[in-house]
Each structure stands twice: as structure tokens, then as C-alpha cells.
Amino acid sequence: MGEQRTVKFPQEVIDVYAALGVDLPALFSAGDLGNRMGVEIVEVSAERVVGTMPVEGNTQPYGLLHGGASAVLAETLGSIGSMLHGGTTKIAVGVDLNCTHHRGVRSGLVTGVATPVHRGRSTATYEIVISDEQDKRVCTARLTCLLRDAAGPAGG
């Protein structure tokens, strides 16, 4: 995996936050773990967040995609959706994550799609479906985030 990539947001989303004085990529990214795992965001809005992750480098001893890797992808996508739902006045903090692993995958790229189940004032819940390159479901996850008041525009 040697190569480190940063999570990318579409330029139009970055521009909205930049107009508010917020450096979105600095405010939220997959962090060191997500970068090491090769997580890449390909579509982002409060209604739908899509990201990919390579299986290679993210496997358990049997050579299958590690369940924890699926959890990292799911929490990253659901957190981004929750953060965008909360806007610049809220910070999304994960409080519950559950994952059901349906099948193993040994190679290629997995894609996660996060869609909202509930978007309220104080919590947001997203379902995240992770599929392999044959569009077979690998994992179904659900993430609930608490939306806390931010101290300032960038949460600091």
C-alpha cells in the first residue's frame, strides 16, 4: 500500500465551505488510518456519500477483506454524510456502529454507499452498503452520529 492518498471532496463542496471560511479537507478527512487504507471519496453530499477502498493491504490472515477495514470505510462515509448534514455549526461524533459481513472478498476494490436513515437536529444515522466489483454485497453497516455544537466555523 506504500502510497498515501488524501481523501478528496468534489470541488463544488469544497467551494461552499471555503465561502464560509472553512478548509473542508483540513476539517475532515479519513485521517491517517483512512489514508493508509487507501480510502477515496468519489461522491459526496448529505444525501449520498460514495467511497472506495482497495482490498489489497486491508486483509486478515485468511486473505479476506478484514471486517475492521469494512468498519473503517463505513464509519468514514457515514461520518462525512453526518458532518455535511450538520453543516458548519455542528461536529459529527460517531456513537454507534454495527456491521454485518455477508461474504468475503479477496481482491479488487470495494465500494461503499452511505445513505441517510435519519437526519435530525441532534443525531444522524446512515446505512452503508459495501459491495465488491461484481456489485455483490459484502457488508451492511449502520452508523449513528451525535451532532454536537461546534465552537466556531471550523469546530475549533
| Residues annotated as catalytic (active site), given as ranges | 75
Long-range (24+ apart) CB contacts under 8 A made by 116-120 are: 116/46, 116/47, 116/81, 116/85, 117/142, 119/46, 119/85, 120/147
* 3-state class (DSSP) for residue 89: helix
CA–CA gap between residue 63 and residue 91 (Å, rounded): 36
CA–CA gap between residue 20 and residue 129 (Å, rounded): 32
